[in-house]
Chain A
Amino acid sequence: MAGTYAGLVNSPVGRKLATQLGLPRPATLRRYAVGEPLVEGSVLVGGLGPAPVAERVRALLKSEGIDTVDELADGDRVAAVVADLTEAAEPSDLDALRALVAPALRGLRPSGRVIVVGREPSSANGFAQAATRRALEGITRSIGKELRAGATANLVLVGDGAEANADAAVRFLLSGRAAYVDGQVVRVGPGTPTEPADWAKPLAGKVAVVTGAARGIGASIADVLARDGATVLCVDIPAAGDSLARTANRVGGTALQLDVTADDAGRQILDHATARHGGLDIVVHNAGITRDKLLANMDQARWSSVLDVNLGSILRMNEVLLADGGIRDGGHVVLVSSIAGIAGNRGQTNYGASKAGVIGLVDALAADEGLRARGITVNAVAPGFIETEMTAKVPFATREVGRLLNSLNQGGLPVDVAETIAWFSQDANAGVTGNVVRVCGQSLLGA
C-alpha cells in the first residue's frame, strides 16, 4: 500500500495526523483463508417473535463450533450479530432490531458483521407490512455507514418457505469471503440446495469456465474457484496467452486462447469443457474492456467494441452454453456488471450501457422458465473500485477518491469479487438467482 492514502494514514506519523484531522483510516479487512472459522468470536443471534431463520443460524453456527448468545452481558464483545426480522409487520416492530443490535455495535470485533434477515416487501400483506419490510433496507444501509474497523452490514430477504435456503447466504456474509460486500441486499428464493461434503471444497468435482482469466479479476476468479475444488477452463485472447498459461498452470486447469467475440466462442468453450473435463457446471462471463470517451467524442469503434465484448458476446455464447447439452442442470451462471452500470459514469456511456445491459440480462435469464426448470441460477456481481491493472492506470486523484468513497475507505481486491462469484457458484446456494450483488465496500456511487 506504499504511496497510497491507506499507506499514509496507517504509518505511525500519518496515523497521528489522520486522527487529529479526523480523516478516515482504512482497516485491514479479514479475508478468508482455508481452514479458518467463519467468524472469530461468538455471534449474537436474535430477532422478533419466533424468528425462524435465527433458529437455523444457531444450528448452523453450532455445527461450525461457533458460540452463539441470545443477549449481551455487560462488556461482551461479539464478532457478529444476526437479527431475524422476518416477522416484522408494523413500523413499531422495528424497535426489536434496534434493541438487539445497538448494544452490540460498540464492542463489535474488527471486520465484524451485522446481518439483518427480512422478507421481500413486494410479497407483503398490506401497506404497513410492505413499508416495514422495506424499512429494513434503510436501517441496514445506515448501519453499514456507521460501522468501523472493517465491519459490514447486509440484508438477507428470505422468501416464504425458503428459510433453509438462506444458510449459504448467511455463511458467506459472516465469513471473510464477503470482506468487501457491504450494504447489500441478498434475495433468497426457492430451489434445492445441496450441501457440499466438505465446506473447504464447496465446488469439488465441478467444471468452470472463466473468461478474461489471464489477469486481474478473472485470474483471481480462477484461483478461488480452483481453491474451492473446481476444475477451471481459463479463457482469454490469444495475445494474452502467456499470462493465461500462468493462470491455468497455477490452478491446474486448462488454457483456451479465444476471443469471446468470435462467432463460435460458445461452441469452442463447450467442446473444450466436454472433451477435456466431461461437462460444464459453472460459467463466469468476466472478460470486459473499457474504451472511455465523453459521448460527444465517442466514435463508433469504441462504442461497438465495448458493447460487443461486454454484452453481445455473452448473449451469443449463452445460445450454446445455456442450451440443452450445454451447462449441466443445477449449474450456475455468473456475469460481471459494474457500479458504472448502476450509477453511470462520466465518459462511460458505452461501458455503462453494457454493464446495465448485463443486469437486464441477469433479470431475464433468472426469470426464464426453462432455466428455472433446469435449476440453473444466474447472478451478477457489480464490482466497485477494485485494485487491478485497469484501475492502477486511473489518475492519482480520481483513484484516491474511488478508493475512499465507500464505507470501508479502501478499494477492494480482485479476490473479493472472486469470492462472491464462487459463492454464486455453489450448489448450496441454489436459492439465490437473479441477484446483483455489489462488491463495492458500500460505495456512495449509485447507492
Chain B
Amino acid sequence: MSPSASSSRSASRTSGQPRRAAVIGGNRIPFARQNAAYAKASNQDMLTAAIEGLVARHGLAGEQVGEVAAGAVLKHARDFNLTRESVLGSSLSARTPAYDVQQACGTGLEAAILVGNKIALGQIESGIAGGTDTASDAPIAVNEGLRETLLTLNRAKTPGQRVKALTGLRPSQLVPEIPRNVEPRTGLSMGEHMAQTAKQWGISREAQDEIAASSHHNLAAAYDRGFFDDLMTPFLGQTRDQNLRPDSTVEKLATLKPVFGRGEGATMTAGNSTPLTDGASAVLLGSDEWAQERGLPVLAHLVDAQTAAVDYVTGNEGLLMAPAYALPHLLARQGMKLQDFDLVEIHEAFAATVLTTLAAWESEEFCRDRLGLDAPIGALDRDRLNVNGSSLAAGHPFAATGGRIVASLAKMLHEKGSGARGLISICAAGGQGVMAILEAA
C-alpha cells in the first residue's frame, strides 16, 4: 500500500465518513434478442461468461474477491444458487463467496449498491456485482393444478391414496405456465401500465420515437469509436447488441403500429419499447487501496444510492414512477441539483418512462404535491441524457441492465475528468425504482 493510500484511509476514518467504493471496470456480453443468438444459453452460461471477461480484463484468475452478488429476474428453480455456481464455473478462486439478489429490473444496480456498501464499511475489499437474464431459456412451471395433484401424489402412502390423487387430474392441468411480463396484483403488463402513465402525462408519440432513434444513434456511435472495447466480451459469435439499428430514424419508427394502450391515444410501439432480450453483465468494485495494489485504475466512486417504491396497485401512481420519488432524497443528502449532474442515465424500459420521469421533475404540481418540494426539480439538459444509448437500442435483459449502466457511466465520467458526477435511474416491476450517484475518480 502506498503512503498516500494509507493516509487517505485514515483520513476518512477520522472524519467518521465511510470510504467510498471504487468502480474499477465492467464487462458484459452483447445483448441478444429473445430466441435468437443466445436461444440455447442459460443464465448461468451468460453470467459465467460475463464474469470470465471481467476476470481476464483485470487479471483476477485464481484470485479470491470479497464477494460476488448477482441475480436474474426470470430464474429456474434449479438456479437457487445461480451466482455461486457461476463463480465455481469461472476462473475466480473457488473460495470467493457469492449470493443471489433479486429486485426485478433493479437487480443489477441493487447488487452493485450492496457490494459497494460492504466495501464502504470495510467488510470486504473487493467485489463483483452482476446480473443476467434470458427471455429465451425461460423457466416453464407446471400448471398450479397439476402441481397440487403431484404434491398430493407424493404425500400418498397407500396405493388407494395414489389412485385417488391421480383421478383428480384434468387435461387442462397439462398446460404449462410460462412466465409473463405481468404485474400479479393488477393483471396488467408493464407496457399497459406504462401506456396509462404516458397518457396521463400527455407524452407524445413523436417525443418517444425521438428518444428511441437517438438511443440507436448514440449506441452505434459509441461502438464506432471503440467505447465498448474494454467493456464487452463477445459471446457465441455475437460482437454487438443484436437489437441495435444504427440506421433507425424517427420516420421509420413512426410507421410502427402501437402495441400498448388502446385507440387514438396509443403511442407505444415495438420501436419505442424495449424488446425481450438475453444477456449478462458484471462490474468490478473495490477499495481504492485494493485497486492500487493491483495497478487497476479507478474509474469512479459510488457516492450514494436510494431506492423508492410507489403504490401503483390503487392506481394512485404509475408503475414505473418510483425513480421520480427517489431523486429528491439523493439531492437533499448530497446538496445537489439535478442540473449539477454532468451525465444522467435513465434506463429506457420504454421511451415513455424516460419522458414521464423528466416531465414529473419539471412539474411544479408533481414536485409540490407528490414529492413535497417547494420548487420543481426542473428540466434536464438532454445532451447529458443517455449519451451512449440505453436499453431501447442495447436491449434489456432485466437483471443485466444495472451492470451495463454502472460500468458505462463510470467510464464516461472518467473520460470527462475527475469530479464529474453522474446519476443512474432504473425503474423496476412492483412499482420500485433504484438510483445511484457516481463520481469520476
Contact = CB atoms under 8 A, between A and B. Distances in A.
A255 B233 CA distance: 10
B108 interface: no
Contacts of A134: none
Interface string A240-271: 11101110111111111110001000000000
B23 to A, nearest CB: 17
B438 interface: no
Contacts of A239: 234, 239
8 contacts: A239-B239, A242-B49, A242-B234, A242-B235, A248-B59, A251-B61, A275-B295, A276-B294
Given A254-B59, A257-B229, A276-B296, A241 B52 contact: no
B76 interface: no
B229 A245 contact: no
Interface in B188-241: 226, 228-230, 232-235, 239
A246 B239 contact: no
Nearest to B62: A252
A38 B233 CA distance: 41
Task: Indicate the member of A253, A254, A256 with the most B CB atoms within 10 Å.
Answer: A254
B115 to A, nearest CB: 21
B122 interface: no
A291 interface: no
A370 interface: no
Nearest to A238: B229
Interface in B395-427: none
A262 B235 CA distance: 23
Interface of B: 49, 52-53, 55-59, 61-62, 91, 226, 228-230, 232-235, 239, 294-297
Contacts of B57: 245, 254-257
Given A242-B49, A275-B296, A278-B295, 18 more contacts: A238-B232, A239-B234, A240-B234, A241-B232, A241-B234, A244-B233, A248-B56, A249-B56, A250-B61, A252-B59, A253-B59, A253-B61, A255-B57, A257-B57, A257-B229, A257-B230, A276-B59, A277-B295
Interface SS majority for chain A:
helix
Given A254-B57, A255-B56, A276-B59, A245 B295 contact: no
A248 B61 contact: yes
Contacts of B229: 238, 257-258
Interface in A269-313: 275-278
Contacts of A238: 226, 228-229, 232, 234, 239
Contacts of B234: 238-242
Contact of B61 (A241, A249, A257): A249
A250 B56 CA distance: 9
Contacts of B53: 241-242, 245, 255
Given A249-B91, A276-B295, A254 B58 contact: yes
Contacts of B239: 238-239
Contacts of B61: 248-253
Contacts of A276: 59, 294-296
A245 B59 contact: no
Given A239-B239, A276-B295, A245 B233 contact: yes
Nearest to A251: B61
A241 B91 contact: no
Interface string A339-355: 00000000000000000
Contact of A245 (B56, B62, B296): B56
Given A241-B234, A277-B295, A249 B55 contact: yes
B232 A254 contact: no
A255 B59 CA distance: 7
A114 B49 CA distance: 48
A275 B297 contact: yes
Contacts of B228: 238
Nearest to B297: A275
B233 A241 contact: yes
Task: Indicate the member of B228, B229, B239, B294 with the most A CB atoms within 10 Å.
Answer: B229
Task: Indicate the member of A242, A244, A276 with the most B CB atoms within 10 Å.
Answer: A242
